[in-house]
Amino acid sequence: MASRPECACGDTSALAGGKKRIIFPCAGTANVGLISNEAALQLAEEGYGVATCIALLGSGDPGLKKRIADADEVVIIDGCPMTCGAKIANAQGVTPAQHIVITGLGIDKLYEKNFTEDEVELVVSAAWEGRGRPGETYAR
């Protein structure tokens, strides 16, 4: 029986130059949770960092913890003021360099799955611009 390959979630070795970042989107099912995931995937495609499952972080996976230690930055993209992603990171002893809360960018939380590309782009731009860094304020 073949062995299963190790999960490469959070593997920043594939990033070309720049800072090694791990991006954790929230796992919400409202529109802002879906935007969070879509923005993280787009950021990964653009070479900003590697998108990784917040549930894996919550599990305390030792391989992921090592990859976090080797990364330059951790970015949490939470959908709403509940900040579940940040709470999970905090419980695992991880302090994000950036913490973006989508509702703080002026996007309302709706219990539906509809969202626009412009909303995703707003979150992506916020990450690239560093608007989730401590001391930064969101533009409204």
Note the pLDDT of residue 136. Answer: 72
What domains are there in the chain, each with its CATH number? Answer: 19-129 (3.40.50)
The gap from C-alpha 30 to its chain's centroid, in whole angstroms, comes to 16
For position 9, what pLDDT does the model report? 53
Residue among 125, 138, 106 at smallest CA distance from 43: 125
**Nearest-angstrom CA–CA distance, 76 and 47:** 16
pLDDT over threshold 70, residue 2? no
Q: How confident is the model at residue 106 (pLDDT cuts 50, 70, 90)?
A: very high
Would you say residue 1 has pLDDT above 50? no
Q: Output the six-digit token pair for 68.
A: 């976090």
- Average pLDDT, stretch 28-51? 97
For the record, the structure tokens of 126 come out as 């916020």
- The answer to whether residue 16 scores a pLDDT higher than 90 is no
pLDDT, residue 140, reads 40
- The answer on pLDDT for 23 being more than 60 is yes
Question: Looking at the predicted structure, is the pLDDT value of residue 4 above 60?
Answer: no
Helix (H, G, I), strand (E, B) or coil at 127: helix
38 vs 9: CA distance, rounded Å: 16
Question: How many angstroms separate the CA atoms of 22 and 67, rounded?
Answer: 9
List pLDDT tens digits, range 111-136: 999 999 999 999 999 999 999 999 77
Question: Mind listing the pLDDT tens digit for each residue in 50-105?
Answer: 999 999 999 999 999 999 999 999 999 999 999 999 999 999 999 999 999 999 99
What's the pLDDT at 11?
54
